Amino acid sequence: MPRKWDWLKDEIKGLELIRSAPLIFKFISGKLNGPDDLVKCALCPNMCRHACPISIVDGKETTSPAGKARIAFFIRDGKLELNLENIEPLYMCLSCDACTQWCPFEFSVSNLTRPIKEEAVKKGITFKEFSEVFKNLKEYGYVYGEPKDEKMVRDGNILYLRGCTIREKYPEVEKKTSKVLESLGYKPFTTSEKCCGIPAYNLGNITLFKKLAKEQAEIINSSGADVVVTSCPSCAYAYRVLYPKYSIKINPKIFHITEFLEGKIKGLKTKGRVTFHDPCKLAIGLKRPELLEKLLLSIEGLEVKSPRRKGKETFCCGYGGSAISRLNAQLADEISNERLKELREEAEVIVTACPTCKLAFESNYGKTLDIAELLYDVLRG
């Protein structure tokens, strides 16, 4: 079979090729690395723009995926100053990686632009809106400030890690998740967990991220559990995808709740009509685009209406990425409302599997159930 560049070799043969295009020859012969990824993205006509929630709702070239890459490229090249005004567009990113699903190079714009954010943080060029997050994470290992006095469950056979948003905003989801797990014969226990570090990572504070990750890994590894279940897909993503990148090892097997329940919930029946919102960190980050829908479809009698954008085409709730809800809350809510509008065309009740998505929709008056809440209700009849 001919190879990818043989046609070009056929066209520009022999001496002529070597004389006219030595770089090309080296490139197509695999002896030269091409441009680096940020440059490639900066030169792209935004072939993933349609998938990027920021791009659709904000609608600005500046915050479009390739637009962000261009700004990062100019800053890196010293053509644009590294200052707050110039880096702000780089933070207009939900870290949802919807771009990656469509990119011919499989780039993640959030990853491509992170080095600039890291450099900015290192140099102390950071928004006042982030300082409090950094402070809370440093002092308490918790994004929301000092944690409330929490009752821990110390005995059990699986460790249930709730994540900061469940702990702070949705204690009822914590209870219901535990009940669902108990109904399946497990004994979940909780511990004095810390933040997984993703907010620090998203905002470019890698030193802080690594510190939190090490502490959290220590807590998990010393818990004695073989299996960890979490309600937060971002936490599961951090433990399974990010920590290994920084050589931080977690010993137990980590599951997001939907992954843990897969194949285990059988014989459930209910009535009603729901639609669902695939969280980006589950559908894209953990590469389980079909899982939430599959779980819902396994409940007999439940009418499950698919939204226009689902699975790998899911559309972030607007509160992802740690930065936008802090820097531009109005835009975050506009994105939530964009998504809510299309979900509401399908059903009144939205089911999701991420506390941040629940928070985003509920802050914008969308009736939203975590998958564990729905299962809890169905189990109770």
Partner 1 sequence: MTNLEVVMRSNHELPSDVLKHLISILGNRVSTKDVDLLSYSRDYWPITLHWMLKGKIPALARAIVWPKNTREVQDVVKIAYENAIPVYTYGGGSGVLGGAIPEQGGIVVDMKKMRSIKLHEENLLVEVEAGTNGYYLEKYLNKKGYTLGHFPQSLYPSTIGGWIATKATGQFSTKYGGIEDMVLGLEAVLPWGDVVTLKPHVRSATGPDLKTLFIGSEGILGIITKTWLKIWPYPEKRILLSFASETLEEALDSVNRILKRGARPAVVRIYDIVETKRHFYKFDEVYGKIATIIILEGDSKLVEAEKQIIEEEFKGKALGENLVKHWLETRFNVKEASEFAPLGVVFDTIEVSIHWSKAIKLYRSLINVMRSVKGTLFVSAHASHFYPQGVCFYFTFAGIPKGDPTEYYNEVWDVAMKTTLEVGGAISHHHGIGRQRGKWLKEDLGLAFEVLKKVKNALDEKKIMNPRNMGV
**Alpha carbons 230 and 188: distance in angstroms, whole number:** 11
Q: Would you count residue 308 as binding partner 1 (CB under 8 A)?
A: yes
Least Å distance, CB 40 to partner 1, is: 4
For CA atoms 175, 181, 185, 186, the dihedral sign is: negative
Least Å distance, CB 1 to partner 1, is: 6
**Alpha carbons 46 and 172: distance in angstroms, whole number:** 42
Q: Which is nearer to ligand SF4, 93 or 299 (CB)?
A: 93
Calculate helix-pair angle for 65-76, 84-91, nearest 10 degrees. Answer: 140
Q: Would you count residue 363 as binding partner 1 (CB under 8 A)?
A: no
Q: Would you count residue 61 as binding partner 1 (CB under 8 A)?
A: yes
Of 50-58, 109-117, 133-141, 159-167: span binding partner 1 (CB under 8 A): 50-58
Least Å distance, CB 129 to partner 1, is: 17
Among 105, 150, 226, 241, binds partner 1 (CB under 8 A): 105
Among 7, 148, 241, 264, binds partner 1 (CB under 8 A): 7
Q: How many residues bind partner 1 (CB under 8 A)?
A: 56
Residue 89 binding target from ligand SF4, partner 1, none, CB below 5 to 8 Å by type: partner 1
Residue 93 binding target from partner 1, ligand SF4, none, CB below 5 to 8 Å by type: ligand SF4
**Alpha carbons 310 and 90: distance in angstroms, whole number:** 26
Residue 77 binding target from partner 1, ligand SF4, none, CB below 5 to 8 Å by type: partner 1
262 with 291: CB under 8 angstroms? yes
| CA angle 229–230–232, rounded 5-degree value | 160
> Which residue reads 């929630």 in tokens?
53
Residue 356 DSSP SS3: helix
Residue 69 binding target from partner 1, ligand SF4, none, CB below 5 to 8 Å by type: ligand SF4
Of 35-43, 126-134, 235-243, 255-263: span binding partner 1 (CB under 8 A): 35-43
Query: What are the residues whose beta carbons fall under 8 Å from the beta carbon of 150, sequence distance 6 or more?
Result: 167, 190, 192
Least Å distance, CB 273 to partner 1, is: 17
Among 15, 31, 79, 245, binds partner 1 (CB under 8 A): 79
Per DSSP, 147 falls in state P
CA distances from 206 to 185, 198, 281 (A): 39, 10, 20
CA distances from 80 to 70, 72, 75, 123, 291 (A): 10, 9, 5, 16, 43
Among 18, 29, 30, 60, binds partner 1 (CB under 8 A): 60
Q: Which is nearer to ligand SF4, 68 or 358 (CB)?
A: 68
Residues that bind ligand SF4 (CB under 6 A): 40-41, 44, 46-48, 51-54, 65-66, 69, 93-99, 102-103, 105, 107, 109-110
155 with 138: CB under 8 angstroms? no
**Alpha carbons 186 and 164: distance in angstroms, whole number:** 23
| 254, HSE (Cβ side, Cα atoms, 13 Å) | 25
Q: Would you count residue 303 as binding partner 1 (CB under 8 A)?
A: no
**Alpha carbons 196 and 23: distance in angstroms, whole number:** 45
Binding residues (CB under 8 A) for partner 1: these are: 1-4, 6-8, 10-12, 20-21, 23-24, 27, 34-35, 39-51, 55-56, 59-62, 64, 67, 70-71, 74, 77-81, 85-86, 88-89, 102, 104-105, 308-309, 313
